[in-house]
Amino acid sequence: MIIITNVDENDLPKVYEVEVESFEDPYPYSLLKAYYYLSRELFLVAKQGDDIVGYSLGIIQFGYRGHVVSIAVKKDYREKGIGSLLLKELEKRFKEYKCTHSYLEVNFKNKTAIEFYHKLGYIIVKLQKNYYGRGKHAFIMVKSFSKDKSFE
């Protein structure tokens, strides 16, 4: 059984393990710890028993825009709905803070992630060149929380 909950400071080493396993250029541990202090209510973990199997991290910008800073799931737990649970809970919290939309960056070559976000209602609005470094571009993807507005 997977439980989504707020991160605890003691969870950070295991969150960092998920980060390192998931990304070519992982965030440093110190940055994850800074986000813990800056955005605790939007830093979530997926737990199975005592094990951290995934996490999501968001911030609110300008009082109305939710930014999905990072989301990752351990390799052995992917394609089991955990990423969806994490993102949906993060979006729910963005809405509670009165955000009008959510956005994220994704490597433009990561077809699996792009498809995942698209299934959850995100659309590509821009190509950000060199976002991850020289020649490493990102798509900016956005999801509106308003039924009246669209980014298409």
The residue segments making up the domain with residue 25 are 1-99
Q: What is the mean pLDDT of residues 113-117?
A: 96
> How does pLDDT run across 46-58, given as a tens digit for each residue?
999 989 999 999 9
Residue 14 pLDDT more than 70? yes
Q: Using CA atoms in the order 131, 135, 136, 138, what is the torsion angle rounded to 10 degrees?
A: 60
On whether both 72 and 28 belong to a single domain, the answer is yes
CB atoms within 10 A of CB 21: 13
Predicted local confidence at residue 146, as pLDDT: 84
Strand stretches in 37-120, DSSP E: 43-48, 51-61, 65-73, 101-107
Nearest to 150 by CA among 99, 113, 100: 100
On whether both 8 and 83 belong to a single domain, the answer is yes
CATH value at residue 20 = 3.40.630.30
Query: Percent of the chain at pLDDT above 70?
Result: 96
Q: State the distance between the two ends of the chain, measured CA to CA, in whole angstroms.
A: 37
> How does pLDDT run across 68-100, given as a tens digit for each residue?
999 999 999 999 999 999 999 999 999 999 999
On whether both 74 and 106 belong to a single domain, the answer is no
On whether both 95 and 116 belong to a single domain, the answer is no
Predicted local confidence at residue 76, as pLDDT: 94
Residue 4 pLDDT more than 90? yes
On whether both 83 and 18 belong to a single domain, the answer is yes
Residue 149 pLDDT more than 70? no
Residue 152 pLDDT more than 50? no
Residue 143 pLDDT more than 60? yes
Q: Using CA atoms in the order 126, 132, 135, 139, what is the torsion angle rounded to 10 degrees?
A: -20
On whether both 57 and 121 belong to a single domain, the answer is no
On whether both 64 and 90 belong to a single domain, the answer is yes
141 strand-pairing partners: 104, 124
pTM of the predicted model as reported, rounded to 2 decimal places:
0.91
Residue 110 vs residues 9, 38, 78: alpha-carbon distances, Å: 30, 28, 15
Residue 150 pLDDT more than 60? no
On whether both 108 and 149 belong to a single domain, the answer is yes
Looking at the structure of the chain, the number of domains it has is: 2
